[in-house]
Chain A
């Protein structure tokens, strides 16, 4: 028997082995791979409530925040949805506004009335799992409140930073506008924008905690010298 014939016999056997015996193994391997690919891989499943919360403080590094002395807060809270804005009627809104005011006062800014030429004008809104565009639509109420019809078309300006509005979530959105320099700027510059996102941020019990966390990271604020 020559070598070629011998080789052929051997390979015939090998082929039979593959066909008859190997197929179950291949199926088994395929099944194993399938099993491996079916693992649950939700990376956020172990998140706790606090992990869902995010405090964002957008500010302009060029601005000296000590140059402002007084502020006033629009006494209503608004609901933002797409490019629409409407009034919120929740009773807890007043609590939120008050705690926010108190925190600013701790930073030595003085609360004054609407018509006492405040340096900073503040409007607070909620976004409830809906999307809004790049710019907050809350400026329409702001303009009405302080009678700035000339800025209706332009809306708010966000100098030096980009607010991150695009994703639908449960958000407190706070806009702090420079009223002191509005005549020279000819714009409603949002010098500080706050977003508080995540689970339970609309629960009244959480207000003090989440605002405390927000002011804690906003270290650029403060008017201690005045």
Chain B
């Protein structure tokens, strides 16, 4: 059921964008066409994106949880300059959980036999700088990105029903490589895919860092200001 709801949400978004595209095409361009310099390529634009993804824990985290994140989601806003760069920010939420069947844990002076539910729930806010390898008027624009910010790491292990919770705010970095596919300039939608590595120092019990690789897909729309 969970997946269904998730899919429905994304279908709704796709539907919304397609409706918008149709409407936008009906608007007539009243500008004369001679000597035309497309103003959209000389002005900065703004982009808002919703980004689901696939997040895989890496070394440091995968000793604790080695299953992919459940419905990770991010929203981002960026200011795309006509030169080959953009700046913006991401708000990113990632939730991981993994059931561990009954096992015996030997702590200092305690032997514990229990099943566990291991969870991490992170929310991060990062500022991003992107450098593009193609001009703004290009439809396809590969880019490299560096993100840095702060992450609220929510570690929680259920030992049977007993919670062992640790919440910390930690600096985080998120370098990424990706590709941006712009629609026609009369249209406002953008598709984006990037591979992102996220690292956050966090050490507690079974975990030595919050550390994962993400494939991040984005559906965004852009607009221009005067």
Contact = CB atoms under 8 A, between A and B. Distances in A.
A123 B148 CA distance: 56
Interface of B: 2, 5-6, 8-10, 12-13, 16-17, 19-20, 23-24, 27, 29-32, 36-37, 39-40, 43, 48, 50, 70-71, 73, 75, 95, 97, 99, 102, 104, 108-115, 117, 119, 158-162, 188, 221, 223-226
A185 B225 CA distance: 80
B32 A39 contact: no
Interface of A: 1, 3, 6-11, 13-15, 17-18, 21-22, 24-25, 28-29, 31-33, 35-36, 39-41, 43-44, 46-47, 50-61, 160-162, 164, 167, 169, 197-198, 213, 216-219
Contact of B12 (A31, A43, A61, A164): A31
A39 B6 contact: yes
B85 to A, nearest CB: 22
Contacts of A47: 115, 117
Contacts of A44: 117, 158, 161
Contacts of B30: 9, 13
Contact of B39 (A7, A35, A197): A7
A65 to B, nearest CB: 13
B188 A28 contact: no
Contact of A24 (B6, B16, B158, B160): B16
B32 A6 contact: yes
Contact of A33 (B5, B16, B75, B111): B75
A161 B111 CA distance: 11
B223 A22 contact: yes
A127 to B, nearest CB: 13
Given A10-B29, A29-B48, A43-B97, 18 more contacts: A3-B39, A6-B36, A11-B39, A22-B221, A24-B16, A25-B19, A33-B73, A35-B12, A43-B119, A43-B158, A54-B162, A57-B111, A58-B110, A61-B109, A161-B109, A161-B110, A198-B161, A217-B104
B223 A29 contact: no
A36 B27 contact: no
B109 A25 contact: no
A51 B29 contact: no
B20 A22 contact: yes
Of B36, B73, B110, most buried by chain A (CB within 10 Å of CB) is B110
A198 to B, nearest CB: 6
B226 A8 contact: yes
B39 A55 contact: no
Contacts of A21: 20, 23-24
A136 B159 CA distance: 21
A213 B111 CA distance: 12
A213 B70 CA distance: 34
A169 B162 contact: yes
17 contacts: A9-B30, A13-B27, A15-B226, A22-B223, A25-B16, A25-B19, A28-B13, A31-B12, A33-B50, A46-B99, A50-B115, A51-B115, A54-B160, A57-B110, A61-B108, A61-B109, A160-B109
A169 B20 contact: no
Nearest to A12: B226
A28 B95 CA distance: 24
A17 B75 contact: no
The 8 lowest CB-CB distance pairs between A and B, nearest first, are: A161-B109, A28-B16, A54-B160, A51-B115, A7-B39, A55-B113, A54-B114, A32-B9
A219 B6 CA distance: 48
Given A41-B95, A54-B112, A198-B161, A29 B50 contact: yes
A50 B101 CA distance: 10
B71 A36 contact: yes
Contacts of A36: 6, 9, 71, 73
A33 B49 CA distance: 12
A56 B102 contact: no
A59 B158 contact: no
